[in-house]
Amino acid sequence: MQSIKNIIRVSIKQNYLNAWQVTDSLLVFNQKSGTLSLLDDLAAWLLLSFSEGKSKGDVLHELQPHSIDAAYLERSIAEVESLIGEPAEKPESYSQEYAPYLISRPDDTRLKEGFFFEISGQIFQFISSDAPFFAECSKLFSNRKIEQRDTVQVQLEVVFQEDHYELRCNGKVKAKINHYGELMSHLMDAIQMMIYQSRDYLLAIHSAVVVKDGCGLMLPGLSGSGKSTLSVGLISEGYQCYSDEVAVLRRENTALIAMPLPAAIKAGSWELLETRWPELKAATVWKRQDGRQLKYLALPEHVSDDEFVTVRRIIFPRYDADCAAAELKELNALDALKKLIEAGYQVRAPFTEQKVEQILYWITSQRCYSLTYSSLPQAYQKISGVMQ
What does each of the 388 residues of the chain score in pLDDT, given as a tens digit?
455 666 788 888 888 898 988 888 899 988 887 788 899 999 999 999 999 899 999 999 999 999 999 999 999 999 999 888 765 554 444 344 445 666 788 888 899 999 999 988 889 999 999 999 999 999 999 989 999 999 999 999 999 998 999 999 999 999 999 999 999 999 999 998 888 888 888 989 999 999 988 889 999 998 888 898 899 999 988 898 888 889 999 888 898 888 889 999 999 899 989 988 999 999 999 999 888 999 999 987 566 666 678 899 999 999 998 999 999 999 998 899 999 999 988 887 777 778 888 888 899 889 999 999 999 999 999 999 999 8
Backbone angles phi, psi at 297, to 5 degrees: -125, 120
Helix/strand/coil for 52 = coil
Asked if residues 236 and 263 have their Cβ atoms less than 8 Å apart, the reply is no
Q: What is the pTM of this model?
A: 0.86
- CA–CA gap between residue 226 and residue 231 (Å, rounded): 9
Beta bridge partners of 256: 249
DSSP one-letter code for 74? H
How far apart CA 369 and CA 388 sit, in angstroms, is 15
